Amino acid sequence: MTTTTTAAAPRRTDPRPVTARTRRRREALRNLAFLSPWLLGTGLFFIYPLVSTLYFSFTHYDGFSPPTFVGLDNWKFVFRDYPFFWPALRNTLWFVLVMVTLRIVFGLAVGVLVVRLKRGAGLFRTIFYAPFLAPPVAGTLAFVFLLNPGTGPVNTILGKLGLPEPGWFNDPAWSKPALTLLALWGVGDLMVIFMAALLDVPKEQYEAAELDGAGAVRRFRHVTLPHLRPVVVFSVITGVIATMQYYTQPIVAGEVASGHIQGSGQQFEPGYPERSTLTLPQLVYNLGFQRFDIGAACVIAMVLFVLSMTFAAILMRRGSGFLEVD
Amino acid sequence: MKRTTRRRLVAVTAALALPLAISACTGTSKGGNSDNPDADVTILFWHGWSADSEVAAIQQTIDAFEKDNPNIHVKAVGNITDDKINQALRAGGSSAPDVVSSFTTNNVGQFCSSGAFVDLNPFMAKSGIDPSTTFTGPQLEYTQYQGNQCTLPLLGDAYGLYYNKDMFAAAGISEPPKTLSEFEADAVKLTKTSGDTYSQLGFMPNYHGYESTTEHYAAQWSPTYFDADGKSTAATDPGLKAMFDWQKGMVDKLGGFDKLEKYRSTFGDEFGAKNPFMTGQVAMAIDGEWRGGMIDADAPDLNYGVAPFPVPDDQADQYGKGYITGTIVGIASTSEKQNAAWRFVQYLTTNTKAVVDFANAIHNVPSTIDALASPDVSQDPNFKAFLDIAANPNSNTTPASPNGGAYLVTLQDLGYDYESGKQPDLQAGLQEAASQIDTDIDQSK
């Protein structure tokens, strides 16, 4: 006979029973601990700069004396009295609309072509990608030299062909298209992203579409593009953000083409020729680090932030985020 | 109090405290002038010279100072840009410089009005230096702001007319022009067109033609720029208006803006061997004394001369004047060794031998009245022309402003618009410019 002795269950000695609230609190703390690296990074490098930028935009601050609250004065100055703000905003929006769009189209086209190449794909991939690795200043200097209206080889060739010879970086009507050409030359980053996405498109879907009688255009429209949508949305958002920060190429091109290389500490010439290459980040530099009007510079920084967020929000909403559409 | 209400209060308090925390981080350390300059001390000197010959020249000056002042050691750091200066002066701290020099006078107003550099007037008074008898008028003007002499001139630059003697002879011109009407006639005579461009241009009047900027031209009319209240006189100063009109007239007479711009795009780098005056693309140029050294190095066969830039016909009696600017030096207000720093600054800026030796070594114009008159200063005829321009009582400069020379950008911007025809109404443009300059200065205060 087997007897089993059932031991009496030990009594809890913890006077405080684990309530649902305690569990939730512990869970929250654990989650916070896991999240802490991200929270720390975001707090230090995003929230803190953002809040301080907003705060400084309402102050007069030259870096020497403590900031003094001036209400909306900086905002009024930038929007009403600073003559470079509206041209810079127009130019920045132009670059966002034209340059980003063309870079996406061109990057996709190059990606499609290189993926389809049977021979020499590696060579062409390298040729198209290499310019992206060129330092921006060096690339810009090369373009200013190539497109020099007086001595550049491009206009020499155009002249010999009997074609019009644009003023490129010296002509306000052509300076932005010239910068766009420079951006298209460095489209290698997008080409690589699109190539990777293109290689991921299931071949069976192309075969099925072909069996259904779809031509190349319809296959691209109904098979390729839906698969590429998340990559396109990603490229547009990162492109818009990068264009909002567009600084080096326009300032180098403008200064070199104008012949006035500004010395350190000297005021810059605003967007040669005729403010056509002026962008918002140049104004942040001019106001913040040349005039040391840090409050007004922070207003421009806030404008850039709001614009970037607005574009990103619209694109994420319209483009269904980064999710692939079935 | 409800938990949610308490949380909100904490969040609001934190949000309010953050800006206070930010503002608490923005102060700069304060220095002083209670140090004993006879004690053994090392001061940090930041300067912008970077070429080997220039660094050697400033080091020689420092060595000579240390020989005279064995208790003060100077640690020099070269190739310092204004951006670094501005950041260091704002940051303060033990590694910040005691003595700082800058190539541009643009930031003097900011340095003085913000208190970044100490006022040197009390130091000069203590040392028995009368600035008005030591330095020339323009040099005193560009080194102070509203009576605060927070910097002193450390060598200067003068602007004059470079002319190609061979081209002058070929065109039958016997001497450099003295008035602007003579200048205009000579520029036209020296210009040779070739198709829709030039084989030789008498003078490049466009503002982008390197040193042909509004302020360099305007010096020939001695404009005021600001009235006694610090308001812009751009709309009322007759000299500025005359300068804009004269330049536009030159552009039109020499072929028009577009044609000149296309020719300008063929110019090489301003500071390289392909400078258009050195290659013979232009027969005359407005430039500073440093060009002579560059010609010696890169175009030694160029047969050129230097003369003062011509003056308006109704000011012919003031022929000889020109635009003056230069390097400045000051003492950081964060320095805790200001008395020792002053001994060094005093030596750099007022010791005639030190100023002359340094000027000769780097081909700059000396910056004291005594040094300009010194027989030891280079007597090369072309360089001598700049000494005379610097010493001319009618030579002038652009005054300091509290926002880093933004007013010059505004005037230059008007110049671009007027020369290209984008702004056809000069008076309206000048009024807009004056209003903009006043608004910018108000914003900076």
CA A304 to chain centre: 11
Reference A85, options A293, A242, A263; nearest CA is A293
Q: Which of residues 164-203 of B touch A (CB under 8 A)?
A: 197
Q: Is A172 on the interface with B (CB under 8 A)?
A: no
Best to test chain A binding among B23, B118, B325 (most A CBs inside 10 Å) = B23
The answer to whether A69 and A58 are in contact (CB under 8 A) is: yes
The answer to whether A164 and A158 are in contact (CB under 8 A) is: yes
Helices assigned H by DSSP within B314-420? 338-350, 352-362, 369-373, 381-391, 406-420
Per-residue pLDDT of A85-118, as tens digits, reads 999 999 999 999 999 999 999 999 999 999 988 8
Name the more confident of A4 and B256.
B256
pTM for the structure as a whole? 0.83
* Closest CA in chain A for residue B405: A267
How far is the alpha carbon of A255 from chain B, nearest alpha carbon, in Å?
10
Per-residue pLDDT of A43-80, as tens digits, reads 999 999 999 999 999 999 988 788 999 999 999 999 99
Low-confidence winner among A22-26, A73-77, A251-255, A287-291 (lowest mean pLDDT): A287-291
* Closest CA in chain B for residue A73: B443
Contact residues, chain B, for A66 at CB < 8 Å: 23, 26-27
A291 contacts B406? CB cut-off 8 A: yes
Name the more confident of B83 and B304.
B304
How far is the alpha carbon of A65 from chain B, nearest alpha carbon, in Å?
7
Cα separation of B208 and B264, whole Å? 8
Q: Is B5 on the interface with A (CB under 8 A)?
A: no
B15 contacts A170? CB cut-off 8 A: no
Name the more confident of A234 and B89.
A234
Helices assigned H by DSSP within chain A? 20-42, 48-56, 73-76, 85-94, 100-116, 121-133, 136-146, 153-160, 175-185, 188-199, 203-211, 216-219, 225-244, 248-258, 280-285, 294-318
On the question of pLDDT at B365 being above 70, the answer is yes
Contact residues, chain A, for B404 at CB < 8 Å: 265, 267, 290-292
Name the more confident of B444 and A279.
A279
Q: Is B239 on the interface with A (CB under 8 A)?
A: no
How far is the alpha carbon of A83 from chain B, nearest alpha carbon, in Å?
8
A274 contacts B422? CB cut-off 8 A: yes
On the question of pLDDT at B389 being above 60, the answer is yes
Contact residues, chain A, for B416 at CB < 8 Å: 274
What is the predicted pLDDT for the residue at B195? 86
How far is the alpha carbon of B261 from chain A, nearest alpha carbon, in Å?
8
Per-residue pLDDT of B28-57, as tens digits, reads 455 677 788 889 999 999 999 988 888 999
